[in-house]
Structure 1
Amino acid sequence: MRNRVRIATAAVATALVVTGVGLWVRESESGHSDGGLGAEVRPEAALCVGSRPGPSAATNDTSDDTPLNRLITHIDSLARERHADVFTGLSVDEDAGAADLYRIPSPAFDEAVCEAAEQGVQVRLHDTDVDRAALDALAERISEDMTRWDGTFDMREVAVDERGWVHVGVDEPGTAEPLVHGAFGEEHIRVVHVGQASADRTQNG
């Protein structure tokens, strides 16, 4: 899980449903930009707004114990213990007090997450078709074979994107994309340009 900055997101509510775990909204999102991929239209996302009261002030003994952080910890636990087969990834929009949860559609997982959300915290639920374990395994396969392309193109980074794909950063996408897809398939792999400076920052932490 990693924090993500949303550069340009437009949300339009099209339907409302009130449930016992807060207010649910069906929204569509478009126009976000992501590291070389450019703007893209994303599928509709379901939004739940927390209605659960938070703990009393006496129990809040750390400055980072916020409603959003408590929810993130809870989602992490659910993803590891009960819903690993549907969990894809998670990103945090701290300015909006929201979490973006990417998962294979699962009413049980959605309910467990949304019923834990405290008042004012939003959870945006995005549909995917792959779980995190499969993405991790794919990223590992690609990473283990990074040097096979030496002399053809420079593979500079391989990382799982929480939205449901493996990000493969290279110096020459036009050359690399057909070769990477030919070796590992096209599903859940996005080949993008990454400059040398970006690759150096990744390697140096």
Structure 2
Amino acid sequence: MDYRSLAAGTAAAAAVVGLALYVDASEKGHADVDVVSTAPETCAGGRPGSGVDEEGTDDTPLYRTIARIDELAAGRHADVFTGLAVDEDRDAADVWRIPSAAFDAAVCDLAEKGVTVRLHDADANRAELDALADRIGEDMNRWNGTFQLREVGVDEHGYVSVGVDDPEVARPLIEDAFGDEHIRVEHVEQAGLD
């Protein structure tokens, strides 16, 4: 699937030592992701579209729906929202959240006609994941000489991705320090200066 990133807001955390420590987390929780989930709940938008977004500019039903989901997720439902990805090819939004009938109903009610919303289960909200990513990133010098911590970011599926040079060495140390819940330690290449 070809997903378009909606990098809105500011980065949740960033630190640079050597060439890179990259935090791929945005305030709104949008990212390029591959959807890997079993049978998400879906709803089809029925709200009539205006052809003009709230700022008065032309927009698409999908992006007006995304803007409304952002507002909802930042407000009264922040405690259940995990992340969001956009599937432009299918006019769909993939939303990861802690299951909540109220949130699901609100999201489905605001989706415009022609937009599909796919709801995926997660067991942590975005604020919890951002806080975990911040703690791991702030403690990066702890590993000097053991392994290279290259990037830390929140994945919209509901976990913190920790990119290192040697996952076999890093995984037990990171899990010992931060637990193994909501953390995936993976190999990433060192970022180059362009």
Task: Give the TM-score of the pair, scaled to structure 1.
Answer: 0.75
Consecutive aligned runs of 4 or more in structure 1 exceeding 4 Å deviation: none
Q: Which has the higher contact order (CA 8 A, sep 6+)?
A: 2
Counterpart position of 2:178 = 184
Q: 2:31·2:156 contact (CA, 8 Å) conserved in 1? A: no
The letter of the residue matching 2:73 is A
Task: Give the TM-score of the pair, scaled to structure 2.
Answer: 0.79
Counterpart position of 1:23 = none
Q: Secondary structure at the match of 1:62?
A: coil
Counterpart position of 2:73 = 79
Q: Secondary structure at the match of 1:71?
A: helix
Structure 1: give runs of 5+ residues left out of the alignment.
Answer: 10-31, 33-41
| Percent of pairs with identical residues | 59
Give 1:61 shift. Answer: 5.3
Q: Secondary structure at the match of 1:166?
A: strand
Give 1:5 shift. Answer: 5.1
The letter of the residue matching 2:179 is G
Q: Secondary structure at the match of 2:82?
A: strand
Aligned length: 166
Give 1:2 shift. Answer: 2.6
Counterpart position of 2:32 = 4
What whole-Å deviation, never above 9, does each CA across 1:79-116 have from its counterpart, x for those lacking one?
11110110111111111111100000011111111111
Pick the structure with more strand per residue: 1
2:91 corresponds to which of 78, 92, 97 = 97
**Structure 2 residue 34 is matched with structure 1 residue 44:** no
The letter of the residue matching 1:71 is T
Task: Give the number of the structure whose alpha-carbon radius of gyration is greater.
Answer: 1
Provide closer, same or farther for how the CA distance between residues 82 and 167 of structure 1 changes in structure 2, counting only shifts above 3 A.
same
Q: 1:4·1:93 contact (CA, 8 Å) conserved in 2? A: no
Q: 1:50·1:117 contact (CA, 8 Å) conserved in 2? A: yes
What whole-Å deviation, never above 9, does each CA across 1:23-67 have from its counterpart, x for those lacking one?
xxxxxxxxx5xxxxxxxxx3431011112221167x99534x111
Q: Secondary structure at the match of 1:196?
A: coil
